[in-house]
Structure 1
Amino acid sequence: MSLEGLPYGSTLGPGRWHLPPASGLPVVYAASSRALAQLEKRVHANGVAPVKQALIRLELPLGAIILDAHNDLALESPRWRLDEGYTQGVGVDWLQSTASLGLWVPSVVEPQERNLLINPAHPQYTSIAVVKETLNFEFDPRSF
């Protein structure tokens, strides 16, 4: 199974690290852990507990170049957290360069954690393997 043909959130509208879909620069967001995936999903669920969710694990190709902006951004002034235009600029510059398959960035929800941005325009994108986790990915309704 691969990421090809799977929908991703950047096609729905602008986000922290990307512009609206009309920009032609889609991006895939991946959390670095199961817990962060839940936290990120909760933030974007508008108070409604998601149902029928599946968690997938991505296996990146050997030798894939992954850049790391997490530490640089997390140590900067709070600007990166408050100014979505700034982070969108970082994301757009990275996407347009196609220099790497992925870019680690801090999570705005929890800046000590990180998300991986994945560039669908990168030549290695089609080599990412997708593994569906067998454990249920359920949300505790008390958190909504």
Structure 2
Amino acid sequence: MIKKIALTAAVVSLFSVPAFANFGTTASSERVLQEGSTPSVIINSGQPHTYQLNLDEAATVRIASSHFPGMHSILPMKAELIDAQGNTLSQVRSSGGDFEIREALPAGQYSLVVSGNSAPGGESWDAHRYSLHVAFE
């Protein structure tokens, strides 16, 4: 009887632990963009990441994506820069996963929405990771 309980507990734990894994999404997926690089996150189909960008003064903003070093990505990604009124200021797509947005922006609040079309698993989830690099000129 004890062996059956132990076996049942082991089987249940095999299926329940992956449900708690972090695949780059959180309850609050909004992040604030600042100059520098963001931590790498995993992009999943149907789960876009939203970043907030707040400018106190006018600036030319450069936002570029990159993948985990050494990883060749087949991850198609899209990024959309949106102003506080909901107008799309810039939209870029990349079949290789890397994109760049360069926009001269007045002071204000902006959102960057990053989405991708990823297939689960493969050899490694690292192929689905990206970081953003932000610079103000």
TM-score by length of 1: 0.26
Larger radius of gyration: 2
Greater share of helix: 1
TM-score by length of 2: 0.26
